[in-house]
Structures are given as C-alpha cells and as structure tokens.
C-alpha cells in the first residue's frame, strides 16, 4: 500500500492475457486494436522500450492493464468512455482543449468519448473502456425514477478529475482498486465464475458513485414509494421476475432497471413486504458500494 491505495496491478500476471513488449511498433499495433491512434510511440528516444500489457473483455467493458516505458499518444477516440486508474507517475491528458494532470494516489480520471492526447512519465495504470450508454443506464438505475436524468447526463458529458482525498472518496477508491484486484482471483477460478460474479456491474457502480457523489448522500427520495399496497404489488412482480431469471447471473443494476427503483428503495420494500433482501432471493447480487 502507498498513500492508502494498493500498488499491485491486476491482470499483468495472468497467463494468456498478459504480454511483454520490447518493440514499440508491436506494442502500438496491439494497443491500436482497442484504442485507434494516429500517434502511439515512446516519449524517450534513448534506452530500451519495455511494456507489459493485459487486456480483458468483460461484459460491456474492456479492461486494459499496462506498465512500462513513458509514451505519447494521440487518438481520435474509439466511441468509448475511459475510466482511468493511475498506479505510478504522472499522466497528462488533453481533452476538449484542456490538459488534465492525473497524479498517482491523488486522483482518478473520467474521459468521455472523443479525441484525446496522452503524455506520461511512466506507463502504469488500468484503463476501463466502457460503452457510455451502459455507464449512463447504470447511473440512471442507481438514481431511481425520481432523480433528474438531465443532471446525470450532464455530469457524464464532461471529463472529470476525481480527487481521492477525503474520507468518502478515499474509501470508495480503496474498494474500487480492490475490486479490480479481485479480477485475478476470479479469472483463476475460471470463466464461468468470472461471468457469474457480475464484477463488471460492481465496477461500474463504484465509478458512478465517484462520478456523481449526490447518489451516495442523504436519503433516497424514492424510498417512500416502496411501502404500502402499491409497493407490495411491484415487489411481488419483481420477486416473480427474479425467480423466472434464477438461472442467470443477475446484478443489482438489473433489479433497479427492471423495477425503476434504486437500491435503498429495493432494500426497504423487500424487507417490509417479504422479510428479506433482494440479494437473498437472487443469491448473486453482490454489493460493493459500502466502503
């Protein structure tokens, strides 16, 4: 641990996923398969180029873990948003004509789809490429039916440096880093275990909490709709839906989208009407949001 955050990088020790490069062109060709770039080269002209890189497709996202020599990159964009976790050094991102400095152990970074430039002192980080619509839908499902979609869309339309100082963000960042590290254990357990873990949903939900702090503060204004006869009807309908899909790896976001209510509303309503949590019915609804 350094600065309260883990330093061990996930995926790089996984056979079949991780590859070592000593040729800048081979490395650039491999990287271009995921993020098309018209400039992709080492910053330093002297010294041997080295890089270890691992790529993992996971649900609606692609996870890239990389460590090696300093680089410079210019990309027109892949149509995917970037969720960036630095592990060492400084990386400068030029997005929408502004430079954003992402220092290790000080901030995380969100970059919406579009052109970008990168310069760094060392290549060391995990970048999650995600369908922006999937990120938006996860945020909307977490917010529940009574939150403003306009506000959420606006917050996801611009790049954000997310500071990891402060009790709340530091705790969420620790959980996020640990969740990525758990990928190694799940991969070792087999593809079926990885698929049924729905760790992709956990990762997206943690990023949403960091990107939109209001979703994690105060009482859920939709919880008052969880009780009473109306609440009983939709809880029973959702319980029936869960039972009908018991053969599938359901995530908490699936329940939120199906019902239109947020996590807090689901918990209150299920306990009030059925005497259990949604997770007790689904048997596989991991909740990594409480640091």
105 sits in the region (left: phi over 0; alpha: psi -120 to 50; else beta) called left
Q: Where are the domains of the chain?
A: 1-217, 222-291
Instruction: Give pLDDT tens digits for 13-60.
Output: 999 999 999 999 999 999 888 888 888 899 876 678 999 999 999 989
287: pLDDT strictly greater than 60: no
1-217 fold: Jelly Rolls (2.60.120)
Residue from 185, 205, 182 nearest 256 by CA? 205
133: pLDDT strictly greater than 60: yes
92: pLDDT strictly greater than 90: yes
Tokens of 151: 């506000």
pLDDT value of position 46: 62
CA distance 138 to 123: 30
CA distance 182 to 194: 10
Q: Mean pLDDT for the chain?
A: 82
Q: What are phi and psi of 2, to 5 degrees?
A: -145, 125
CA torsion sign, 168 to 83 to 73 to 6?
Answer: positive
Q: Could you tell me the pTM of the whole model?
A: 0.80
pLDDT band at 77 (very low <50, low <70, confident <90, very high): confident
pLDDT value of position 233: 75
Instruction: Give pLDDT tens digits for 186-220.
Output: 999 999 999 888 899 899 989 999 999 877 543 44
pLDDT value of position 285: 47
Q: Contacts for 5-10 with beta carbons within 8 Å, 24 or more apart?
A: 5/105, 5/164, 5/173, 5/174, 5/177, 6/174, 6/177, 6/178, 6/181, 7/87, 7/88, 8/181, 9/65, 9/67, 9/87, 9/124, 9/126, 10/65, 10/126, 10/180, 10/181, 10/183, 10/184
pLDDT value of position 38: 85
Instruction: Give pLDDT tens digits for 139-157.
Output: 888 887 555 688 889 899 9
CA distance 138 to 142: 6
Instruction: Give pLDDT tens digits for 102-130.
Output: 988 899 999 999 999 999 999 999 999 99
Contact assessment for residue 125 and residue 66, using Cβ atoms and an 8 Å cutoff: yes
Contact assessment for residue 40 and residue 31, using Cβ atoms and an 8 Å cutoff: yes
Instruction: Give pLDDT tens digits for 228-240.
Output: 545 567 677 777 7
Tokens of 234: 């939709």
Which region among 1-5, 67-71, 238-242 has the lowest average model confidence (pLDDT)?
Answer: 1-5
pLDDT band at 222 (very low <50, low <70, confident <90, very high): very low
């Amino acid at each position: 641990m350094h600065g309260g955050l883990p330093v061990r990088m996930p995926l790089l020790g996984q056979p079949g996923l991780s590859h070592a490069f000593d040729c800048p062109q081979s490395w650039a060709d491999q990287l271009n398969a995921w993020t098309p770039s018209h400039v992709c080269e080492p910053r330093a002209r002297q010294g041997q180029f080295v890089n270890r890189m691992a790529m993992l497709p996971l649900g609606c996202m692609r996870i890239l873990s990389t460590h090696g020599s300093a680089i410079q990159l210019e990309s027109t964009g892949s149509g995917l948003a970037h969720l960036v976790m630095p592990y060492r050094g400084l990386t400068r991102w030029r997005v929408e004509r502004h430079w954003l400095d992402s220092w290790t152990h000080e901030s995380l970074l969100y970059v919406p789809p579009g052109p970008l430039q990168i310069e760094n002192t060392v290549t060391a980080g995990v970048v999650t490429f995600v369908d922006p619509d999937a990120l938006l839908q996860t945020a909307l499902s977490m917010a529940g039916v009574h939150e403003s979609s306009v506000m959420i869309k606006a917050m996801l339309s611009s790049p954000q440096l997310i500071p990891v100082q402060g009790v709340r963000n530091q705790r969420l960042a620790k959980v996020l880093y640990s969740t990525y590290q758990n990928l190694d254990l799940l991969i070792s357990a087999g593809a079926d275990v990885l698929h049924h873990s729905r760790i992709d949903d956990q990762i997206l939900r943690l990023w949403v909490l960091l990107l939109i702090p209001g979703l994690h503060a105060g009482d859920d204004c939709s919880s008052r709709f969880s009780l009473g006869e109306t609440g009983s009807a939709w809880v029973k309908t959702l319980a029936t839906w869960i039972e009908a899909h018991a053969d599938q790896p359901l995530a908490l976001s699936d329940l939120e989208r199906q019902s239109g209510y947020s996590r807090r509303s689901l918990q209150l309503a299920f306990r009030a009407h059925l005497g259990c949590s949604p997770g007790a019915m689904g048997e596989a609804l991991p909740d990594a949001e409480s640091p």
